[in-house]
Structure 1
């Protein structure tokens, strides 16, 4: 369903900016939500084989319509190729060019950023024959559709099919708003609440029916998380341990050892599966040691303050407030669901609380990345609480049973449709960037023409100049400088990552910055060549410079300045132009860039 709809939407030619796509998505989305609520309203209907097959397709349609119609006029995904999307697109492009778990940027290093989602997407892009930067959009939307299905499948194991349909619909809607920028993260977050319920009872309950299967399945989930998003893997691993250690009321020490053993089974399975992706990095790190990683040295405003989605003046906020009330009131009445969900929420807030001690050692907990977990858990709890309220009212006033059910269904359609409409719009910056960022293949954006004043518009010409001058395949070539589009149009390796926070710690980021400064201080071309040949890392054979005053050639290097925000500062390094006045180098001016290629 997702792929068919994407193919159909890609044939539309609606000009941007426009709200026409939003109108289509809002209307059709409301109809889809109405059908899903109609299926959920009667348990026999929701339990049928037709519903089991139809619901994932309807969820996929809901997700694909909203994102697909917003992005129908661009080949980019949300965010274009700006900021974080630059490294994500580079990672997907790397695995479209190689089967190995290589670093997204550095030549000769294993991957440090969890490669699971990007490796699968890159291999799929290569198989489909679609450029990786263009396939990113297809892959991201498909991932969000699969996440909705995964949530539905997991909730079917925890609640009745009708309730599973409602909760999965709410999950799909929430994902559009809180985690569409990181689809690979949402793939893990969407089924996390029901999986948390499953493993909570598999570890703590006395009955043994299907316990082994539940523990093994949770271990697989933890392993997939480690391959895909290490923060979520660590977070859920702590939850599994807490499920074993939190005492049962009135029986504080009973069954503690068996519970710890069951939690250990889950963690061990997860660790073993994690090695599928992490083994190359672990081997390299054990051999050479691991310098400090800057990945957690980032503290934006939403990471410094705690998240309280239940106080948002929106339909999502209202659902979260109902969910909070339901969890608190259900702690003793409906403890099967309320307690594991409550612990999941409280663990996120504990993660926020740990930010302060982490700052004392120069790190953060990246707790803001877990905010979607709180919002999703409370929304799911809100849906289940609302269902319980309707059922209670029908029991209390049986004469109004039919009308109460109709009212509940109508409210469900209105609230869920409103949540979908409030998730994304054509006015969002990420949508505008998808239309305004230049394409790597043409240098022109989706809307407008080639703009020579933008330095990143010249990527196609830069790629051609480097490939022509070097005579080497892009996958074997290290380049210093240049726009992101240059590195995703062809699989070049960068001598330096664009920011230290996504750089492989085995690359020695600051030492590489020092090396660039030392090269700029060379006395003549021969001295520069000697210094390049003496580099402990594969040295650049191509340089993409900006032109500075007095004939100098400049490039920027970036430094970590945590805890400042922004957490990076840029330094301009100037190379005297005479350093490249040698037959060993070929120099060419292209737009605002100067391309220097070592022969």
Structure 2
């Protein structure tokens, strides 16, 4: 890729041609792989140690104090100043008549640049969350389901569904399974491991991209700039869903690798296949988008452009390898689908927020990232003859086509969830923008002013550009906590699994969950062997009970027959008013699925006239909001025999007598 940051050290800078490709920091394949390994291990360890350090100090709550915001800005500033400073110093070495660089500074520069994404993640998100045990958005809405899956993954190492007993997971288990192993290693429950695992996974994804981009651009400073920009943008607009964020971060690199793969590179072909396979075990939406609108589109256009079938052959090879990897996560579910006699039910794509009705155009935003995206747009248009730059442009076109198709799909009652792809569009444009700035520095200035620049003049230009980029980076990154303010506030205001709020205010009714859990345990039941019927999704997120039904159809396993189970619950509620306790128990046991061992209601044991209440969720797409909750009431009298009842705050828990 002709995306130079500094000239080769084979001659003084004043003698270099500015239009030749940059090779000073070129990494061999072996060095790149070692760099990826070092960056992954180093980034993970640094992030975990940083998380522990933050928990060891007592900092005020983010939503009641400005202290953590100030400390976050300090951390961001130190990180970006160090990365920019060592990168500029690295470039300075090439302005010497005889190239030289101390070994100690080489190692320090690599350490700082390779680990800078982890430090940025810790400073901008980890520090603001330091006084809370929860991740961004607490246990609000979708986070409750993600937390439930992590809780299940800590409890079990297999393919278990997050909610349904004896059913393989439909939701990709890769990120959650790894998080579960971390939780088991650290000895903390799934809901609590969410925060450190999210920080670690985003940090590691950023760190491993530095050697990858150094290998692609042959420039350590440019690679570092691309990845720090990628990390900052991702933390700003996509950090709430970390397992998708880490996949999105790699798509610009995959676009470039795809261009190389379809031009004959065997290792690039393998890299693209590995990425698609692993991404399919993490987040299938981005896998589909990357496979169809990035990799496949680049292959087809390359084949047409070069009038050869070889790119299509390589695309088939990529598909075979990636599918084989994906089956590690998907095989049990697909096997169950093939042998299932019940119809599949899913409404996962029944969601159309306002963002899903618009085409993302980040280059029109009056912001630093908007300027960077505009520079990227201009760069792509003017450099389309370059295959790798063209790959970035084709990827953007492909994502736009997906977005438009998603809107068209509303005519048949579904969507392609294109609103989630905005982060990919921004990352592709921003990456091109960094490459544009690098080219302006090494080629553009000399074209505008053809007179030879002295080494001293080049140093001053490099210093000015480094300072400018560092300060603009600080300005943007220091706003990451502000951009996530609502999500961070929820992490402090939601009641955690220990019944506490991180901001020290009084907890809501969720602080009764521990008492309910203990009551169920006291009746001789173990959480991971017990089926519970309840609409308290946070209770299920904190404890590894099996749910009789999922909370909404959108996250429910298609094998779980969500609607039929809803109908069964409503039938039980209606019939309970005309049934004896024995008849009610028989009805529970006669269902096609294992009946609940415990039920958690809203109700009052001292005032049973109104019954015990539980809510059912109904999909009402295309309306927005797309879910409606409806209450059904059970007759308290059917629990008079064969059940142990307990009033805990506003909850009534009914547990079958063993």
| TM-score, length basis structure 1 | 0.94
Partner Cα separation in structure 2 for residue 517 and residue 347 of structure 1:
45
Name which of structure 1's ranges 91-100 and 426-435 shifts more when overlaid on structure 2.
Answer: 426-435
Alignment of 1:475-486 (within 5 A): 475-486=528-539
- Give the CA deviation at 1:449: 4.4
- Give the CA deviation at 1:404: 2.2
Partner Cα separation in structure 2 for residue 165 and residue 88 of structure 1:
31
- The answer to whether structure 1 residue 149 and structure 2 residue 207 are counterparts is yes
Alignment of 1:281-300 (within 5 A): 281-288=333-340, 291-300=344-353
Corresponding residue SS for 1:18: coil
Corresponding residue SS for 1:574: strand
- Give the CA deviation at 1:482: 4.6
* Match in the other structure for 2:148: 90
- Give the CA deviation at 1:513: 0.4
User: Among residues 567, 577, 580, which one is paired with 1:524 in the alignment?
Assistant: 580
- The answer to whether structure 1 residue 39 and structure 2 residue 89 are counterparts is no
* Match in the other structure for 1:538: 594
| Alignment deviations for residues 109-162 of structure 1 (CA, whole Å, 9 cap, x no partner) | 100000000011012101210121111100000111111112212212210222
| Alignment deviations for residues 518-538 of structure 1 (CA, whole Å, 9 cap, x no partner) | 111222222211111111111
| Alignment deviations for residues 166-189 of structure 1 (CA, whole Å, 9 cap, x no partner) | 111111211210211111112111
Q: What are the ranges of 5 or more consecutive residues in structure 1 without an aligned counterpart?
A: none
| Alignment deviations for residues 300-359 of structure 1 (CA, whole Å, 9 cap, x no partner) | 111111111112222121211111121112213xx2332011111111111110023311
Corresponding residue SS for 1:500: coil
Partner Cα separation in structure 1 for residue 442 and residue 183 of structure 2:
48
User: Among residues 425, 428, 433, which one is paired with 1:382 in the alignment?
Assistant: 433
Partner Cα separation in structure 1 for residue 647 and residue 127 of structure 2:
40
CA contact (8 A) 1:544 1:594 kept: yes
* Match in the other structure for 1:267: 319
| Alignment deviations for residues 3-45 of structure 1 (CA, whole Å, 9 cap, x no partner) | 1211111122122221211112212311211221223333467
- The answer to whether structure 1 residue 587 and structure 2 residue 645 are counterparts is yes
- The answer to whether structure 1 residue 5 and structure 2 residue 5 are counterparts is no
- The answer to whether structure 1 residue 224 and structure 2 residue 278 are counterparts is yes
- The answer to whether structure 1 residue 182 and structure 2 residue 241 are counterparts is yes
Corresponding residue SS for 1:365: coil
Partner Cα separation in structure 2 for residue 512 and residue 10 of structure 1:
42
- Give the CA deviation at 1:202: 1.3
CA contact (8 A) 2:83 2:112 kept: no
- The answer to whether structure 1 residue 280 and structure 2 residue 280 are counterparts is no
* Match in the other structure for 2:443: 392
Partner Cα separation in structure 2 for residue 371 and residue 121 of structure 1:
26
Residues 253 and 28 of structure 1: CA distance in aligned 2, closer, same or farther (over 3 Å):
closer
- Give the CA deviation at 1:489: 3.3
Partner Cα separation in structure 2 for residue 115 and residue 432 of structure 1:
28
- Give the CA deviation at 1:427: 7.3
Partner Cα separation in structure 2 for residue 174 and residue 40 of structure 1:
21
Corresponding residue SS for 1:564: coil
| Alignment deviations for residues 486-544 of structure 1 (CA, whole Å, 9 cap, x no partner) | 22333101111121100001001110000001111222222211111111111111000
Corresponding residue SS for 1:375: helix
User: Among residues 464, 476, 488, which one is paired with 1:431 in the alignment?
Assistant: 488
- The answer to whether structure 1 residue 18 and structure 2 residue 65 are counterparts is yes
User: Among residues 374, 380, 389, which one is paired with 1:338 in the alignment?
Assistant: 389
User: Among residues 298, 302, 306, which one is paired with 1:243 in the alignment?
Assistant: 298
Partner Cα separation in structure 1 for residue 267 and residue 435 of structure 2:
26
User: Among residues 248, 256, 260, which one is paired with 1:201 in the alignment?
Assistant: 260
Partner Cα separation in structure 2 for residue 509 and residue 108 of structure 1:
15
Corresponding residue SS for 1:535: coil
- The answer to whether structure 1 residue 566 and structure 2 residue 616 are counterparts is no
- The answer to whether structure 1 residue 303 and structure 2 residue 356 are counterparts is yes
CA contact (8 A) 1:477 1:492 kept: yes
Alignment of 1:49-198 (within 5 A): 49-159=107-217, 160-198=219-257
Partner Cα separation in structure 2 for residue 114 and residue 155 of structure 1:
27
* Match in the other structure for 1:495: 548
Residues 3 and 265 of structure 1: CA distance in aligned 2, closer, same or farther (over 3 Å):
same
| Alignment deviations for residues 184-238 of structure 1 (CA, whole Å, 9 cap, x no partner) | 11211112211211122211x2xx4xx2222112111111010000011111111
* Match in the other structure for 2:654: 596
- Give the CA deviation at 1:361: 1.8
Residues 590 and 74 of structure 1: CA distance in aligned 2, closer, same or farther (over 3 Å):
same
Alignment of 1:550-561 (within 5 A): 550-561=609-620
Partner Cα separation in structure 1 for residue 123 and residue 243 of structure 2:
19
Partner Cα separation in structure 2 for residue 261 and residue 352 of structure 1:
28
- Give the CA deviation at 1:554: 0.8
Partner Cα separation in structure 2 for residue 394 and residue 40 of structure 1:
20
* Match in the other structure for 1:318: 371
Q: What are the ranges of 5 or more consecutive residues in structure 2 without an aligned counterpart?
A: 1-45, 94-100
CA contact (8 A) 2:345 2:562 kept: no
Partner Cα separation in structure 2 for residue 281 and residue 594 of structure 1:
35
Corresponding residue SS for 1:228: coil
Corresponding residue SS for 2:613: strand
CA contact (8 A) 2:260 2:388 kept: no
- Give the CA deviation at 1:551: 3.7
Partner Cα separation in structure 2 for residue 431 and residue 247 of structure 1:
44
